[in-house]
Chain A
């Protein structure tokens, strides 16, 4: 069965640079969630999208933005990167909300030097 695909799997950037992470949900899943997980931390909710519209927002810094495209894939853009942005970034998708089961991708590991 198709899973949630995240790219790139690993990314190394310098401080103040920009990074873009991509998420391809399971086919026919129209809801996407982004999470940030620092070392030894629990995943923190950043933002979610339903049918290409932002549906809820968590602790996402103003330097970050995201969108969901017409094919339902989503991109998380991070600018003016800081050392503290180093983390695993997970994307998850579900058919819709109403507390459906989330399927998570394998994550993108961002390292900021």
Chain B
């Protein structure tokens, strides 16, 4: 069961868009793709999720590849408060498996 992989870290300038990639090449057809973010010593916080179609909410957008082997979380305008570790998660029935996480640094 291959791990869901993400870049270790990324940097962005404030007010610029950020694209956070995730590789989930062995995802099953029924697993959803969730994204959560985590601040130090806090519980993960929901960002967005989807199955096949691209999704938008007030926090972010999620672009899912047609073959579902990868996805990209898009923060349209990064702020300093967006600095966190972002996790891509394969969400199956009663089992959500975290990816390796990307630490996002936002530069003022």
Contact = CB atoms under 8 A, between A and B. Distances in A.
Interface of A: 4, 31, 33, 35, 42-45, 48, 50, 55-56, 58, 88, 90, 92, 97-99, 101-107, 109
B96 A45 contact: yes
B93 A43 contact: no
B98 A42 contact: yes
B94 A97 contact: yes
A90 B43 contact: yes
Contact of A45 (B32, B46, B95, B100): B95
A37 B97 CA distance: 12
Given A45-B96, A101-B49, 14 more contacts: A42-B100, A43-B44, A45-B95, A45-B97, A56-B95, A92-B43, A92-B44, A97-B94, A99-B51, A99-B92, A101-B46, A102-B44, A106-B42, A107-B42
Nearest to A99: B32
Interface of B: 31-32, 34, 36, 41-46, 49, 51, 87, 91-101
A98 B43 contact: no
Contacts of A99: 31-32, 34, 49, 51, 91-93
* Residue among A31, A42, A50 with most chain B CB within 10 A: A42
Contact of B43 (A42, A44, A55, A107): A107
Nearest to B93: A97
Given A42-B100, A42-B101, A98 B93 contact: yes
Contacts of B36: 102, 104
Contacts of B91: 99
